[in-house]
């Protein structure tokens, strides 16, 4: 089984993907990390790389081909990425949702803990993180519609949807692993 995980920033995708990978003993692939590496290789932030992708499809296509190949050649792994469900259609598709302000608060808190700047400059308030998220969503929507004619935020694309706004990571994990284990048994 392949499990793809998507959702907006701050929804808990990475946390839950890591927890699932550990519990199941499966590898985890993080497409956002791969995109960040590609951006860094070009001397760009992720925000700049996404903006470039609005006119240069290669920024998306290279990681999307990688995802496709993984889905065709490997099994029993977790993949976390915005388009993973689309490029690995036989995956178990999980979407973790979150209220945009709560998601921004979570990201801001994590940035403060790690003393990071993230992929946008000057994210020194929740409002600025939320504005950065809005720019990212706009860019994602533009690129994914233009290149693949998909809407990554359409919940009908997913097998399991969970709003994480009012529950902690352990409760989220408990609900997700319960669903996954049922699917593994069937």
Reported as type and span, the H/E element at residue 29 is: strand 28-30
We report the CATH number of the domain holding residue 68 as 3.40.50.300
Question: Taking a C-beta distance cutoff of 8 angstroms, is the pair 174, 108 a contact?
Answer: no
Number of domains in the chain: 1
Q: How far is CA 124 from CA 8, 111, 121, 143, 175, in A?
A: 20, 9, 9, 27, 33
Instruction: Please count the other Cβ atoms lying within 10 Å of the Cβ belonging to residue 16.
Output: 25
| CA nearest neighbour of 108 among 100, 36, 79, 84 | 100
* Three-class SS state of 120: coil
Q: Is residue 144 part of a domain?
A: yes
Q: Is residue 52 part of a domain?
A: yes
Give the Cα separation of 125 and 46 in Å (integer): 19
Q: Is residue 182 part of a domain?
A: no
**Tokens 């352990």 map to which residue?**
170
Give the Cα separation of 172 and 175 in Å (integer): 5
Q: Is residue 21 part of a domain?
A: yes
Domain carrying residue 11: 2-177
Per-residue pLDDT of the chain (186 residues; tens, 9 = 90+): 999 999 999 999 999 999 999 999 999 999 989 988 999 999 998 889 988 999 999 888 888 999 999 999 999 999 999 999 999 999 999 999 999 999 999 999 888 877 654 455 577 889 999 998 999 899 889 999 999 999 999 999 999 999 999 999 999 999 999 999 999 998
Q: Is residue 106 part of a domain?
A: yes
pLDDT recorded at residue 60: 86
Q: Is residue 142 part of a domain?
A: yes
Q: Is residue 31 part of a domain?
A: yes
Question: Taking a C-beta distance cutoff of 8 angstroms, is the pair 3, 20 a contact?
Answer: yes
Give the Cα separation of 14 and 23 in Å (integer): 14
pLDDT recorded at residue 61: 87
Phi-psi region of 70 (alpha: psi -120 to 50; beta: other; left: phi over 0): alpha
Give the Cα separation of 103 and 107 in Å (integer): 6
Q: Is residue 186 part of a domain?
A: no
Give the Cα separation of 3 and 16 in Å (integer): 11
């Amino acid at each position: 089984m392949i499990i793809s995980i998507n959702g907006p920033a701050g929804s808990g995708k990475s946390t839950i993907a890591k927890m699932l990978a550990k519990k199941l003993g499966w590898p985890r692939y993080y497409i956002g990390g791969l995109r960040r590496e590609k951006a860094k290789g070009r001397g760009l932030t992720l925000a700049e790389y996404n903006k470039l992708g609005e006119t240069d499809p290669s920024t998306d296509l290279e990681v999307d081909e990688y995802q496709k190949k993984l889905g065709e050649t490997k099994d029993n792994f977790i993949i976390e990425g915005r388009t993973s469900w689309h490029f690995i259609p036989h995956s178990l598709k999980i979407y973790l949702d979150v209220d945009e302000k709560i998601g921004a608060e979570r990201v801001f808190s994590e940035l403060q803990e790690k003393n990071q700047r993230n992929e946008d400059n000057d994210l020194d308030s929740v409002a600025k993180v939320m504005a950065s998220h809005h720019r990212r969503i706009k860019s994602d929507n533009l690129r994914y519609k233009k290149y693949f004619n998909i809407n990554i935020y359409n919940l009908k694309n997913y097998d399991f949807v969970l709003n994480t706004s009012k529950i902690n990571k352990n409760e989220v994990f408990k609900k997700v692993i319960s669903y996954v284990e049922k699917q593994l048994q069937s």
